[in-house]
Chain A
Amino acid sequence: MTFVRGAVAALAVLVALVLQVSVFPHFAWEGVVPNLCLLVVVGAALTRGAQFAAVLGFLAGVALDLAPPADHVAGRWALALVIVGYVAGRVRQDLRPGAGAIVATVAASSFVGTSIYAISGLLLDDPGLGVPQLLKIILVAVAWDVLLTPFVLPLVMRAFTRLEPARVA
């Protein structure tokens, strides 16, 4: 059953990635698109816990780093999403999270993830934007992710929850 779970998770990441690069640019706001891969990782973290989410975050990050339009130094999104998966998984462990908690987790995760990515760029001397512009893009990204939360997270979380009994048995 671990195999099925892994396959479903990989498929979710793949669909999120393709939507993110091919469909959402048509609706981009200031060039920023919702980070669906991050939403999938947060969904996994809220249902399956930090360990699974960190592994999934690594895979999703590597995919984001290597899939065609990407040209930045590989590994930056991987690092960001591993930490997002871990942190989001630690937020709510015992109870099933409510809508408010989910939105708050997504907002925090999106801020942390995009910030880590931006900071790694600054450290690697990516000749890019100034801090005010970085902050603006990060905030727009957070807004997008929160906006898409009600549509994406229930779907992702239901998929991962449905796979849960298979894991216990």
Chain B
Amino acid sequence: MALLDKRFRGPLDDRRRPSRALLVALVLASLTLITLDYRGGDDSPVEPVRRAVGEALGPIENGTADAVRPFTAVPDWFRSRNDLRDDVARLQAENSRLRSQAATADYDRNRLQEYDGLTAAAKDLGYALVPARVVALGSAQSFSDTVTIDAGSAAGIHPDMTVLNNDGLVGRVLRVTRTTATVLLIIDSDSVVGGRVGQSMEVGFLHGRGELGDGGSLDLQLVDEAQPPARHDTVVTWGSRDGAPYVSGIPVGTVTSVYSSVRETTQRAVIDPFVDFGSLDLVGVVVPSGTRSDRAVVEADGSMR
């Protein structure tokens, strides 16, 4: 009877007095993990574990995203005729604008080819794109703006490659597993991109602000403070050596406002990115032309391979 009594009380007692030692051990384990990862930096001992977890969870995330994708498209079916009419009007306006641009494109292209021949920059144009889809997004309460895409080392992707979509620059690859890659978005507060103001060719650094959604914007700090950018100037990437992490000439966004601080004697411009980071889906990863991949690669001349 006493035994039975004890049996019944067992779990209850267990509940009333959770083991202090266990709690202390778990907290210490967490702190150890933080220390290891924080002190280790880029080659921390946690990195292989991260990769292993990614290898295991990547296919599951890919599968889930594939399963969910048809359902997230449902709201599009219920759009009214007025919405569609607005869309047509907007697209027609855009089309005519683009047509006028295209009219001068040949001239621009010829000029560009001449310059390229001179500066041996033709190599810069020999990029190919690996298409990929976003399968997982880091949440705002983790305070880092990262996404997972469904292409990894098997598709020819390596860390420090540029990621873009048809609107502009998205970010760079941080780490890869066989089937997935983690991408740091340019709006993350850790992200710094070399930028160039299209009009004045001034260079500067674009810092992310760590905000997702409508408030997602970038700060541009110019190297030469004498030439402030104007509103609606376009900012493109400046590019780095061997195109890692960012290739040059990718559109990033437009200048929405310029602040000059007398105290710090700097010009600070706010950039509204072209890419809508709240609804990222199809992206392309810039890979060297001729990369071996497990999927079709969009070559520099627009052909699929």
Q: Which residues does A use to contact B, with CB under 8 Å?
A: 14, 17-26, 28, 30-33, 35, 48-51, 54-55, 57-58, 61-79, 82-83, 86, 89-90, 93-94, 114, 117-118, 120-121, 124, 126-129, 133-134, 137-138, 140-141, 164, 167-168
| Known interface pairs A20-B139, A31-B212, A83-B27; A66-B184 also in contact (CB < 8 Å) | no
* B33 part of interface (Cβ distance < 8 Å): yes
Q: Do the beta carbons of B141 and A71 come within 8 Å of each other?
A: no
Q: Which of A18, A69, A129 contacts B147 (CB 8 A)?
A: A69
Beta-carbon contact of A79 and B30 below 8 Å:
yes
Q: Are B190 and A137 in contact (CB under 8 A)?
A: no
How far is the CB of A110 from the nearest CB of chain B, in Å? 9
Q: In the bound complex, how far is the Cα of B30 from the Cα of A69, in angstroms? A: 20
- Verify A28–B140 contact, CB threshold 8 A: yes
Report the Cα distance A35→B139, complex, angstroms. 9
Asked if B244 is an interface residue, CB under 8 A from chain A, the answer is no
Closest CB in chain A relative to B269 CB, distance in Å: 19
Instruction: Check if B8 is an interface residue, CB within 8 A of chain A.
Output: yes
B146 touches A (CB below 8 Å): yes
> Interface segment, B14-22, B76-84, B114-122, B197-205?
B14-22
Q: Contact residue range for chain B? A: 35 or more
Determine chain A's interface SS by DSSP, over half rule: helix
Q: Which residue of A26, A61, A73 contacts B68 across the interface (Cβ within 8 Å)?
A: A26
**B49 close to A (CB within 8 Å):** yes
Task: Map CB proximity to A onto B14-54 as digits: 1 under 8 Å, 0 otherwise.
Answer: 11101100110011011111111110000000100110011
Q: A20 — which chain B residues lie within 8 A by C-beta?
A: 139
- Do residues A28 and B139 form an inter-chain contact, with CB atoms below 8 A? yes
B15's partner among A32, A77, A89, A129 (CB-CB below 8 A) is A89
Q: How far is the CA of A92 from the CA of B18 in the complex (A)?
A: 13
Question: Are A28 and B189 interface neighbours, CB within 8 A?
Answer: no
Shortest Cβ distance from A125 into chain B, in angstroms? 9
Give chain B residues whose Cβ lies under 8 Å from the Cβ of A128: 143, 189, 210
Most buried by B among A18, A48, A167: A18
* Chain B contacts with A in 52-110, Cβ cutoff 8 A: 53-54, 57-58, 60-61, 64-65, 68, 72
B18, B36, B182, B213: which contacts A31 (Cβ < 8 A)? B213
Task: Let me know if B141 and A141 touch, CB within 8 A.
Answer: yes
> With A18-B57, A129-B143 as given contacts, are A86 and B23 in contact (CB-CB < 8 Å)?
yes
With a 10 A CB-CB cut-off, give which of B138, B148, B278 has the most chain A CB atoms. B138
